[in-house]
């Protein structure tokens, strides 16, 4: 029987590990070499590393004119060291391995390089220099990849942070940033990380998913996808709710795909992840405080600035604090069609979470709940709920309308609800949705009726 981890790192189309995550143990891909061979190889690495450190100024300042030239220069330097230093004795396979590892360490992210290069891996979780997990196709696996020691892991983390103008040390022990390729990183180091450095990388997807892709993946039905397309095209205020990793940002990208390209869109994000398909898009990103505690630019700052930039729509990557008040006010004062995401387990929970975020605004602390709930109910039109199933598949579980406030209770009407028994998103509406008038104004009423009643007339 083929080893499950060998299948995992085969990366072929059929390389799907059939075992549940709880039954996938930590097992090496190949038998560990004898102790004396390991010591000899480690000693050779240290020797080469020492030579490279002596050459680091030359390697860093040498002019680079073509992509990949820096790596080639490092590779040539290592080959020169291996050739001239008679004290380094390695087999051909060990020389090849050392070349790959040293080049990655000097001009990349060390042992994480192959994981970063694999498009099927969506998340990399480094728990320690000896323990690295990945998420692939919605399932979590432990890999056999390790860093040489804690210092090697910390060096990679610092390289990532410094590459985007951030720092991470005992005075600033956390870092949340975006790599040049768009991947999102989170770094935590001692003293707040008790067991050493931790690194989490949410990888940037190179290929933009569109609504037909979500249908093909089973995240939505064709009928629900058509309704979502119409919702995106209409000037409806939309909140996408779900847990971490449930596909909120991906779905937001897809829903915004049907926005009229003539509309001016301003995006506001803590870490830029949105990949809107229109040309008339302005992207804004927050900035954390400096090491001295100054120069912070918050989500409220960029959201308020966005209001002065003549937007047709404002898209907030994630609502998590007092900026919720500014978004709700924008939605109800001339910026219809604005959207955002929020962490919640269901549509009604999303309403409660939004109210909590609004209360983080100091001026709203004493405001009666009924007033905040009315403001939310009057501004929001649609809540879309996402969820990641135990199988790893991400699905839309609710498409719900917000119908207003009645007796202190916000009225919700489910247009689609996910049937967990049949594992399918089903229509749950006997009458026309409240936004039917919006669909009529943009000439989409016939398509909306067909999507909600595919078998015949309403």
Angstrom distance (rounded) from CA 221 to CA 342: 23
- Output the pLDDT for position 309: 93
* pLDDT above 90: percentage of residues in the chain: 45
371 and 250 both lie in a single domain: yes
185 and 55 both lie in a single domain: no
Q: How many distinct structural domains can be found in the chain? A: 3
Give tens-digit pLDDT for 389-420: 988 899 999 999 999 998 889 999 999 999 99
Q: Which of 204, 238, 266 is the last residue of a domain?
A: 204
Residue 19 domain-assigned (yes or no): no
242 and 318 both lie in a single domain: yes
Exposed (0-12), middle (13-18) or buried (19+): which is 439, by Cβ within 10 Å?
A: buried
State the residue range of the domain holding 219: 211-452
Q: Which of 204, 220, 236 is the last residue of a domain?
A: 204
3-state class (DSSP) for residue 125:
strand
Q: Which of 94-108, 173-187, 257-271 tops mean pLDDT?
A: 257-271
- Cα 176 to Cα 2, 168, 201, 221, 326: the distances in Å are 39, 10, 10, 35, 24
371 and 247 both lie in a single domain: yes
Q: Does residue 357 or residue 178 have the better pLDDT?
A: 357
Q: CATH no. for residue 227?
A: 3.40.50.300
- Output the pLDDT for position 101: 77
Give tens-digit pLDDT for 150-166: 988 998 999 888 888 78
42 and 127 both lie in a single domain: no
3-state class (DSSP) for residue 84:
helix
Residue 163 domain-assigned (yes or no): yes
Give tens-digit pLDDT for 426-443: 998 777 898 999 999 999
299 and 403 both lie in a single domain: yes
218 and 307 both lie in a single domain: yes
Residue 24 domain-assigned (yes or no): no
3-state class (DSSP) for residue 437:
helix
**pLDDT band of 88, cuts 50, 70, 90:** confident
- Output the pLDDT for position 14: 36
- Output the pLDDT for position 2: 40
Angstrom distance (rounded) from CA 425 to CA 228: 13
Residue 22 domain-assigned (yes or no): no
Residue 21 domain-assigned (yes or no): no
Residue 26 domain-assigned (yes or no): no
Nearest to 50 by CA among 24, 22, 87, 15: 87
Q: For residue 49, is pLDDT > 80?
A: no
- Output the pLDDT for position 56: 60
Angstrom distance (rounded) from CA 259 to CA 232: 6
Q: Which of 204, 227, 247 is the last residue of a domain?
A: 204
366 and 421 both lie in a single domain: yes
269 and 193 both lie in a single domain: no
* pLDDT above 70: percentage of residues in the chain: 87
Residue 20 domain-assigned (yes or no): no
Mean pLDDT over 200-214 rounds to 86
Cα angle 329, 333, 335 (rounded to 5 degrees) comes to 95
145 and 251 both lie in a single domain: no
104 and 234 both lie in a single domain: no
Angstrom distance (rounded) from CA 223 to CA 446: 13
Residue 233's contacts (CB-CB under 8 Å, 6 or more residues apart) are: 258, 259, 260, 442, 444
> Under a CB-based contact definition with an 8 Å cutoff, are residues 255 and 231 in contact?
yes
Q: CATH no. for residue 158?
A: 3.30.450.370
Give tens-digit pLDDT for 101-153: 777 777 778 889 889 888 889 899 999 999 999 998 888 999 988 888 898 89
CA dihedral angle for residue 189, residue 201, residue 179, residue 301, rounded to 10 degrees: -80
- Cα 139 to Cα 82, 132, 196, 389: the distances in Å are 41, 14, 25, 10
296 and 436 both lie in a single domain: yes
Residue 273 domain-assigned (yes or no): yes
Q: Does residue 32 or residue 376 have the better pLDDT?
A: 376
- Output the pLDDT for position 61: 46
- Output the pLDDT for position 65: 52
């Amino acid at each position: 029987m083929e080893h499950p981890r060998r299948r995992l790192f085969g990366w072929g189309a059929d390389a799907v590990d059939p075992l549940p995550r709880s039954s996938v143990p930590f097992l090496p891909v190949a038998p560990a070499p004898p102790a004396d061979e390991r010591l000899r190889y480690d000693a050779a690495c240290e020797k080469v590393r020492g030579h490279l450190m002596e050459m680091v100024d030359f390697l860093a300042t040498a002019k680079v004119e073509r992509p990949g030239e820096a790596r080639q220069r490092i590779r040539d330097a290592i080959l020169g060291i291996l050739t001239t230093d008679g004290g380094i004795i390695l087999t051909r396979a060990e020389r090849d391995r050392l070349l790959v590892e040293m080049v990655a360490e000097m001009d990349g992210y060390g042992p994480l390089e192959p994981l970063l290069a694999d498009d099927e891996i969506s998340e990399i979780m480094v728990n320690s220099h000896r323990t690295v997990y990945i998420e692939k196709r919605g399932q979590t696996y432990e890999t056999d990849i390790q860093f040489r020691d804690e210092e090697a892991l910390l060096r990679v983390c610092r390289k990532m942070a410094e590459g985007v103008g951030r720092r991470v040390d005992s005075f600033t022990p956390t870092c949340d940033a975006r790599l040049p390729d768009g991947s999102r990183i989170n770094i935590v180091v001692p003293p707040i990380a008790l067991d050493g450095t931790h690194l989490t990388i949410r990888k940037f997807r190179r290929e933009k998913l569109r609504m037909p892709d979500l249908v093909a993946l089973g995240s939505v039905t064709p009928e629900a996808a058509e309704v979502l397309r119409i919702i995106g095209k209409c000037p409806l205020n939309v909140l996408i709710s779900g847990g971490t990793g449930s596909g909120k940002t991906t779905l937001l990208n897809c829903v915004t795909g049907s926005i009229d390209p003539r509309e001016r869109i301003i995006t506001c994000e803590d870490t830029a992840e949105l990949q809107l398909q229109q040309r008339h898009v302005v992207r804004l990103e927050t900035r954390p405080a400096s090491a001295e505690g100054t120069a912070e630019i918050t989500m409220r700052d960029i959201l308020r600035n966005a209001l002065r930039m003549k937007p047709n729509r404002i898209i907030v990557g994630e609502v998590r604090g007092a900026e919720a008040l500014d978004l709700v006010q924008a939605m109800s004062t001339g910026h219809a069609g604005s959207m955002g995401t929020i962490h919640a387990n269901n549509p009604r929970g999303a309403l409660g979470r939004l109210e909590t975020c609004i209360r983080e605004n100091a001026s709203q602390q004493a405001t009666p709940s009924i007033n905040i709930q009315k403001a939310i109910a009057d501004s929001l039109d649609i809540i879309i709920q996402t969820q990641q199933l135990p199988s790893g598949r991400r699905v839309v579980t609710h498409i719900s309308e917000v119908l207003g406030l009645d007796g202190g209770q916000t009225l919700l009407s489910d247009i689609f609800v996910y049937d967990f028994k049949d594992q399918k998103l089903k229509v749950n509406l006997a009458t026309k949705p409240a936004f039917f008038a919006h669909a009529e104004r943009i000439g989409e009423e016939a398509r909306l009726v067909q999507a909600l009643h595919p078998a015949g007339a309403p």
